[in-house]
Each structure stands twice: as C-alpha cells, then as structure tokens.
Amino acid sequence: MRIGITCYPTFGGSGVVATELGIALARGGDDVHFISYQMPSRLSVLHERVRFHEVTVTPYPLFDPYPPYTLALATKMAEVADYEKLDILHVHYAIPHAISAHLAREILSSRKLHFVTTLHGTDITLVGRDPSYLPITRFGIEVSDGVTAVSEWLRVQTARNFGTNKEIEVIPNFVDPARFRKHDSALSHLFSSSGEKLLCHVSNFRPVKRIMDVLAVFERVTRTIPSRLVMIGDGPERSVAEAFCRDHGLREKVFFLGNVPNLEEVVGAADVFLLPSEAESFGMAALEAMASEVPVIGSRAGGLPEVVVEGETGYLLPVGDIEGMAARAVEILSNADLQRRLGRNGRDLAEGKFNVNRVVPRYREFYERVIG
C-alpha cells in the first residue's frame, strides 16, 4: 500500500505515534510518505520505503503575520498523492490536518483520495473545544473517510463535545517492546548514586501535565527515600519548574534533560514513573514506562485507566492528590517485590495488548476497509 502520513513533527505524543506507525508500516512492506513542515523528530531511521516531503509556506508580505500553512499543506498533500499514487492519507491530530486533507481530496477530484483522521487528545479536549475551532474541527471529523481515536474515553468525549454521530474506531497507541525495555544501564548512575532510587517523568511540560505536582510528589518521596528525579522533555513550564528546584534545595536531585533522543535508556533505568496530568487521552509516556518494567503513578483521568491497570501496573489517584501519589511511590520504592511485580505486569501488557506488532495491523485493516 502507498500511505501518506501527516503529523506535527515535534516531540508531542501524536507525532511520536504517527512516526512509529509509519516506520512499522514501512517495515511491513508499505511505502510511507511523511508530509509535514519538518522531519518528524522520531524519524531517526533511514528506511528504503520511507520518504519525507517538506511543506514550505512561500512568504508574501500580505500573508504577514499569518502565512497559510493549512493551504500549503493541502497543496503538498495533493501533489504527493498524485505523484506517488497514494492509496490513502492518514492525518494525526484533527486541526488543521483533516481540513488540509479534505482540500487535497477536493483538488484531486478526478482521482479519489481517501483520508483517515486519528484523534489524539488535545485536538478534541482542548483546542477543538475552543469556540473558535469547534465548528471546523467537527467538520474535519465528519468529512474524513474514517476516524480513529486512541482510547474509548476519547471516542466518547468526541461524540459528546462535537455532537457527532460519526463512527469512530478505537485503536490504542502501541509500543515496540524491543526498544522500550528494562535498562540496568550505566545511565542510571549518571543521575543517582548507589542506594538511591530514580524517579522519572516525560512530557511536553504544558500546564495539562501538572509538572509542579511531579516535583511536589518527588519532594515528599525524598523525605523518606534517598532518590533523584529525571525530567525528560521541554515546554512552557520548564523554567518555572527549574526555578522551583533552585529555590527549594532540589537542584542537586532533579535533572532536566530536555528532549533527549535515547529516552528509552533513561526511562528503562527508572524505578517509578510519574504522570500526574490534569487530562490524558491515552498517556503514551506511561505505556513506554510500562514496557520498560517501570511502575506508573498517575492521575485517574481521561484514558489513562485504559493503559495503567490500577494495582497491577501502577496506581492512579485523583488529579492533584500529591500526598496519595507520594505515599504510593514510597510504598513501591520500599518494596522490591511489589516494584518487580508491577513492572512485570506492565511489560506483559506492552508485549501483548499494546505491542506494535499487534496494533499496527489494525490500522492497516482499517485503511483497507476505508478504501474498500
């Protein structure tokens, strides 16, 4: 099959899922064409069946300060679909990608282009709900030839928020268990000395991730358990969080690594993973931690309970329950058997239900159904 994929190329979860999906499809024999304004950050492997097409927005004084990316993307989608004879276009994150895909299909009226939209989370729960984007998001969903959501929770939210009867297929996110696995790596010793535990958080440091809760939980844990914390990722809240660490004597114990390329080695060396988000449609970072045999402590919010099994692969608490999360972290960190059991259970789910080899064929079947 010849498949076009459009996503945000940054470190956000939707871009990660789209990129890993494209790589897995190419490994399975499909030709994959990424179309975006920049090479996706996780597209680090060269593969003979993967191509990247950059969207450039030609500057023009009248366009200032809003160059029309949506239109430039639509034009590039139509061009690639025509030239590369795409069978299907798969866009990740509804806005503006579904609208560009719709325009591309209209441009190519003589050649039918099918497109599928995958809803990831904030496109539905945050941005898409804003009155200035709601009608166009609903339109994008309804004109898609097929729509998928990454969790059952997100499917229900979409129907509710947009009042749409559009059929939505739930296909969960996935992980490559060969890549994300336990690492007794030397890396852990870079951050913690022997006898210390290592906690970890990965996100885009947006307000929805509540990274100040991560620090507050960690600060409580250090009162009883000698430990360190690694913060992976970057975003608007990073400066405030770093200032908090400076002001509260945590500077030597908390490491802000930024967007590291080999995050699996750091995550895989951790003892506990923290994800206290306000909302999370799925929680890709939690799944990657589970694959790495790292118990997850997070908030009982959104689709996270579909990923983290309470008491089996970690613990979920109400949003903002810092004391509860810290207590669970101490419980795990002071009981090696419990840590091992939760870690093994997480790994089992990553190797089974959420395995890349099990989930990616579902997308392929979905494409065939949509085209058929």
Cite the DSSP H helix spans in the chain.
13-27, 69-83, 97-107, 122-125, 134-143, 152-162, 187-191, 211-222, 238-247, 263-267, 284-291, 322-333, 336-351, 356-371
Q: 346 pairs with which residues across the strands?
A: none
**Which residue's entry shows tokens 């739930």?**
170
Which is closer to ligand GMT, CB of 151 or CB of 188?
Answer: 151
Select the residue interacting with ligand GMT from 100, 204, 222, 292 (CB under 6 A): 204
Q: Is 75 exposed, middle or buried (0-12, 13-18, 19+ CB in 10 A)?
A: middle
Choose the stretch contacting ligand GMT; rule: CB under 6 A; options: 12-20, 246-254, 314-322, 348-356: 12-20
Select the residue interacting with ligand GMT from 26, 95, 147, 279 (CB under 6 A): 279
Select the residue interacting with ligand GMT from 9, 22, 93, 115 (CB under 6 A): 93
CA pair distance 97, 258, nearest whole angstrom: 27
Choose the stretch contacting ligand GMT; rule: CB under 6 A; options: 11-19, 65-73, 105-113, 176-184: 11-19
Q: Do 157 and 150 contact (CB within 8 A), yes or no? A: no
208 counts as binding ligand GMT under rule CB under 6 A: yes
Choose the stretch contacting ligand GMT; rule: CB under 6 A; options: 21-29, 120-128, 141-149, 188-196: 120-128
120 counts as binding ligand GMT under rule CB under 6 A: yes
78 counts as binding ligand GMT under rule CB under 6 A: no
Nearest 5°: CA angle at 244, between 243 and 246? 65
Cite the DSSP H helix spans in 130-237.
134-143, 152-162, 187-191, 211-222
CA pair distance 17, 211, nearest whole angstrom: 22
Would you call the peptide bond into 59 cis, given omega within 30 degrees of 0 as the criterion? no
237 counts as binding ligand GMT under rule CB under 6 A: no
Select the residue interacting with ligand GMT from 255, 282, 315, 363 (CB under 6 A): 282
CA pair distance 256, 214, nearest whole angstrom: 12
122 counts as binding ligand GMT under rule CB under 6 A: yes
What string marks each residue from 134 to 153 as x (binds ligand GMT by CB under 6 A) or -? ----------------x---
The least distance separating ligand GMT from the CB of residue 80, rounded to whole angstroms, comes to: 22
Quick one: how far is CA 237 from the chain centroid? 18
Choose the stretch contacting ligand GMT; rule: CB under 6 A; options: 211-219, 273-281, 322-330, 363-371: 273-281
Select the residue interacting with ligand GMT from 3, 17, 94, 149 (CB under 6 A): 17
Question: Per-residue b/e over 98-120, b at no fewer than 16 CB within 10 Å?
Answer: bbbbbbbbebbeeeebbbbbbbb
The least distance separating ligand GMT from the CB of residue 223, rounded to whole angstroms, comes to: 30
Select the residue interacting with ligand GMT from 284, 326, 359, 360 (CB under 6 A): 284
Residue 157, token pair as written in the block: 């939210």
12 counts as binding ligand GMT under rule CB under 6 A: yes
Select the residue interacting with ligand GMT from 281, 292, 299, 339 (CB under 6 A): 281
What residues make contact with ligand GMT under the rule CB under 6 A? 12-15, 17, 93, 120-122, 150, 173, 204, 206, 208, 279-284
